[in-house]
Amino acid sequence: MAEDSQRNFRSVYYEKVGFRGVEEKKSLEILLKDDRLDIEKLCTFSQRFPLPSMYRILVWKVLLGILPPHHESHVLVMMYRKEQYMDVYHALQVIRFISDSTPQVEVFLRMHQLEAGKLPRNPAFPLEAEDEVFLAIAKAMEEMVEDPIDCYWLVNCFVNQLHNKYKDSLQQLPKVLEQYLNLEDSRLLMHLKTCSTMSRLPYNLWFKKCFAGCLPESSLQRVWDKVISGSCKILVFVAVEILLTFRMKIMALNNAEKITKFLENIPQDNTDAIVSKAIDLWHKHCGNPAHLV
């Protein structure tokens, strides 16, 4: 009985921190102890299970290519990353694009622009739409990552992943959303179409910004686990689940502007449950990746 109680206690504890059982924690620890990290297995693990905060930043850095798979290179590579960060930071100070009082996320934006060859001629120039996306993601990442150098590289590489790897896929997500919403709740879809709302849903917030500014940190991290490990399609299922969760509210509104305004500012008290259901929906429709570890 005592052994069973201890096992049950551990199961409840690990579920709270993001694991469904002790074995998942052991599997991830074994993966992270390998001399050469297996990227494919890390992706599979992240797609099947949520990552706890103690491992998340390391896994993200490896999956985004900030760190190489080999453990012995991590310290040296991060030293080079820090030197590059400081060089770019100093250059922006010299040309007076940033100062000591510039907000951190704006510093990240200017660094990103300079390294991408897109720095405007004057810091007073209005921001482009892609700059607004960068800032939204940077603000969300800043809440998750304490070290500014780690934070910059994570934002920079995450945004580059969205622009390069997922560029075409992101453009298709509104159509994919309609497809899966029709499967889950055709009446709700019909209501949104009747109100001429489908084309006015907050797609920029949901898909381009990957829910940055929409979901709180604890929920957003779990969504980004899936995106960073290789599936931007999870964004569709989070959007579908938001619509399903607030179905009664949406059905009570018959104005596209009011529906969109509500969806841009959804209540924050049950977003963890929304994300959990979205992940289940994602596995239901897209299959459960093989557990390789």
H helix and E strand count, the chain = 16, 0
**pLDDT tens, position by position, for the chain (293 residues)?**
444 444 443 444 344 444 455 567 778 888 888 888 889 999 988 988 878 788 899 999 999 999 999 989 999 999 999 999 999 999 999 999 999 999 999 999 999 999 999 999 999 999 999 999 999 999 999 999 999 999 999 999 999 999 999 999 999 999 999 999 999 999 999 999 999 999 999 999 999 999 999 999 999 999 999 999 999 999 999 999 999 999 999 999 999 999 999 999 999 989 999 999 999 999 999 875 543 22
What pTM was computed for the model?
A: 0.88
DSSP-derived 3-state class of residue 215: strand
Burial class (CB in 10 A: 0-12, 13-18, 19+), 177: buried
Domains of the chain in start order, with CATH, are 14-70 (1.10.10.750), 72-163 (1.10.8.680), 166-286 (1.10.472.80)
- Go through the chain and tell me how many residues it has: 293
Q: Give the rounded distance of the alpha carbon of 233 from its chain centre.
A: 12
